[in-house]
Structure 1
Amino acid sequence: MAQPKNRETPTQIVYSTYYRVHPDDRQKFVDAVVPHLEYTAALPGCVFYVFAADLLDPNVIHLSEGWEDQAALDRHNTSEPFLKALREVTENVRILDRQGQKYTIASQGAGDPPGGTEAFNLDRDD
C-alpha cells in the first residue's frame, strides 16, 4: 500500500508558475485545468499539484507543483489529461503573461514561521 503524501514527502522538483489570463478567458482557463487536477495530484510521484487564484488580481492564477523525481514529472507531462488541458488552454485562452521557475531541491526541511506554528493557534477550539 502506498504511503499517503504530505508536504514532508521527499520532493526533488518544484515548479512555481503564474499565468495572467485575459479577463474574458479566465473561466475558460479554469474549465480547462480543473478536470485534471485530482488525476494529477493522485499520480505516483506527485507530491502536490495546486492551482490558486491570486488574492489581489483575479486574472492571475498560480500553479505550484512538486514531484518526487524527474520520472514522475515525465509521466505527468506525457499523460493524456495533462496534454488535453494544455491543448484547451493554448487553443482557447489568451495568456497575457506567464512566468515559471523550476527548482531542483538539494535538501528539504520544515518551513515553519519564526516562533513556530504556535503563533497560528492551531489547537484552538473556536
Structure 2
Amino acid sequence: MNKKANFVVHTTYTIHPDDKQTFIDAVKEHIVLTREVEGNVYYHFSWDMIDPNTCVLAEGWVDQAAIDKQLQSEVFQKALKAVIDNVRIIERHGTLYTVSGETDIIPEVAE
C-alpha cells in the first residue's frame, strides 16, 4: 500500500560554498534514518542545477504528529546541531503545505 503525503515541507538552504561538504556530512545519516521513520512518505535533499550552493529539501508526511515526533527525535536534533555548529547557512526558507489532493502528473511524450 502506498502512503499518501498529507503534509509537504519544502525548504531551501543557501550554503556557504566552503561548507557544502560539511553540510552533506552533517545530514547524510539523518536522511537515511528519516526515510525509515513511521509516517514519512519521502525525504529528499537535492542541489539546485543553477545555483550549486542552494540545497532543496522536499519531505512528505502522513500527519502532523509524525512531523512533530521527527522534529523532537534524537536523529533530527543531532543533525540540526551539527549543521548549526559547523555550517554557514546564508539563507533559509521553509514552508509547510497541507495537501488536499494528489494526482499523478507524469506527462506522455508527444510523437
* Aligned equivalent of 1:123: none
Q: CA deviation at 1:111?
A: 2.3
Q: CA deviation at 1:83?
A: 0.4
Amino acid at match of 1:119: V
Amino acid at match of 2:20: R
* Aligned equivalent of 1:68: 62
**Number of aligned positions between the proteins:** 111
> Structure 2 regions of 5+ residues with no counterpart?
none
* Aligned equivalent of 2:47: 53
TM-score between the two structures when normalised by the length of structure 2: 0.92
Q: Percent identity?
A: 43
**Greater gyration radius:** 1
Amino acid at match of 2:54: V
Are 1:98 and 2:92 an aligned pair?
yes
3-state SS of paired residue (2:100) = coil
3-state SS of paired residue (1:106) = coil
Amino acid at match of 1:73: I
TM-score between the two structures when normalised by the length of structure 1: 0.82
Partner Cα distance (1:119, 1:22) in 2: 39
3-state SS of paired residue (1:119) = coil
Higher relative CO (CA 8 A, sep ≥ 6), structure 1 or 2? 2
Partner Cα distance (1:119, 1:46) in 2: 31
> Structure 1 regions of 5+ residues with no counterpart?
121-126
* Aligned equivalent of 1:86: 80
